[in-house]
Amino acid sequence: MNEPFRPAKGCVTAPKGFRAAAVACDIRGHGKKGRLDLAIIASVVPCHAAGTFTTNQIKAAPVKLTRKHLRDRRAQAIVVNSGNANACTGVQGMQDAARMAEETARLLGLKPWEVLVCSTGRIGTPLPMKKVIGGIQEAAARLGDTKFSHSPKAGELAARAITTTDTKPKQVAVQFELDGKEVTIGGICKGAGMIAPGMSESGEPPALHATMLSFLTTDAAVERRTLQECLNRAVAQSFNSVTVDGDMSTNDTVLLLANGIAGNEPLSANHPALPTFQAALNHVTGELARRIARDGEGASKFITVRVTGAASNHDAQIAAHSIANSSLCKTAWYGGDSNWGRILDAVGYSPAKIVEEKADVAYNGEYVFRGGQPAKHSKKLSKILRQREFTVEVNLHLGDGAATVYTCDLTHEYVSINKAKE
C-alpha cells in the first residue's frame, strides 16, 4: 500500500497494552459449550474512548448503558456477548446489561462505568444471566494469562466470539509512525445480516441508516474530543456506507479505545500528524466494512455502488443507498443481469435530484445507459457481471457530489438463513 501505514499482525491485541479473552458459555441455549459467545477486551491502563451508535428509535439495553458510560469519554474494558441481543427486554434488560458491566469491573479492578457493554443476537429474549456471569468470570480469568491474552490468537478468538451468522471472523491491524513513535490501530467487527448501519455519536438522528458491531483499539495518544471526531469521520466513510439488506439493527455500535502507551504527543485537532492517524483509522474501518458486505448473508457477489456528479454529497449518498438497498437491483446482480432500468428507478424514487437526460450508468466503465438513452455495450459486460466483485457507476452530471456504498447481491440462501432461528 502507498499509504503511510503497513499491515500488522493481529487485531485488537496488536496495539501495546491491550488484551482479550473469549469463552463459550452456551448463551444460545443449544445445550453445549462449543461455540465462542462472550469476549472481554481490556487495556492495562485507562483509555480515552469514543463511540457511535444505532439511530434506530428502538435501542437495545447495552446501547443505552454504554452511551451513558461514555459520557466522560473514558473507559478501560469492553464486554460483549453474541447469541442474544438483550433488546426489547424492558427493565430486566437494563439490569442485566448493568450487571455485566459490574461483574467485569469487579473482576478487573475497575469501576462499572469504565466498562462498555455490547450484545448481538436474537431480539426479545432475556439474557441467561447465570451463563453470562459464568462466562465473564472465565474470560476475566483467561485475561490473567498475559502471554496469551496479549497475543494475536486471543484477538482472533474475540473476533470469533462476537459473530452470529457471519461465515468468518473479521479483523484488521495497521502500524505507522507518529512523532517518531510506532503506533498501531487494530479492529474487529461482526455483521452479515440486518446490516444498514446509520450510526451517530449521540445515537440520535440525523444519520443514514443481524447487528453490526466493531471494536477498535489503538496505543496512540489522542485527545478525547479529537478521538470522537476521528471516529465520526471514519464511520461515515465505512460502516455507514455498507448495506446488506437495508435493515438497521437495534444494537449497532462502534467503540474505539486509545490508551496512549505508544508515547506520541497527544493528537489534537490541529496536530500536523492527525491526518496520518485519520487515514489509518479510515483504512481499518473501511476494510472491516467491506468485509461485512463480502460476507453478507447468502451473498455470492460484492458490489461497490459509486454515484458521482450529484447535486450534493448528501444526494449522492441517498442515491447510492437507494440503489444498494433495492431488492430488484440485488436480485438482478445475482442473476448476472445488468438491468440498468432498476438502477435508474432506484435513483428516481430516492429524494436525490436526477435529470434523466443527463444520467449515465456503467459497470466497471462499460456504459449501459448514457445521456438519457440506452448505450451499446460489448460482450465484456456479461463477463463483468459474472465476476465475484464489480462496480456500479452512476454519474448524474448535476454537480460535484459523490458517494460510495458497499453492498452484495440477494440470493436464495439469504431467504433460507432468515427463515430459520439463529
Cα distances from 254 to residues 116, 217, 286, 332, 418, in angstroms, run 11, 11, 13, 32, 24
From the list 165, 184, 211, 217, the catalytic residue is 211
Encode burial over 86-123: b for 16+ CB neighbours within 10 A, e otherwise.
bbebeeebbebbbbbbbbbbebbebebbbbbbbbbbbb
The torsion of the CA quartet 402, 406, 407, 408, rounded to 10 degrees, works out to 120
Q: Determine whether 404 is an active site residue.
A: no
Is 258:221 a contact under the CB 8 Å cutoff?
A: yes
The string of DSSP letters for 283-309 reads: HHHHHHHHHHHHT-TT---EEEEEEEE
Backbone angles phi, psi at 295, to 5 degrees: -105, 20
Which three cell numbers mark 409?
447481491
Which three cell numbers mark 154?
486471543
Backbone angles phi, psi at 36, to 5 degrees: -60, 135
Cis before 197? omega within 30: no
Segment (H or E) for 6: strand 6-7
Please tell me the distance from the alpha carbon of residue 179 to that of residue 274, in angstroms, as a whole number: 11
Please tell me the distance from the alpha carbon of residue 377 to that of residue 367, in angstroms, as a whole number: 6
Is 101:152 a contact under the CB 8 Å cutoff?
A: no
Residues labelled catalytic: 211
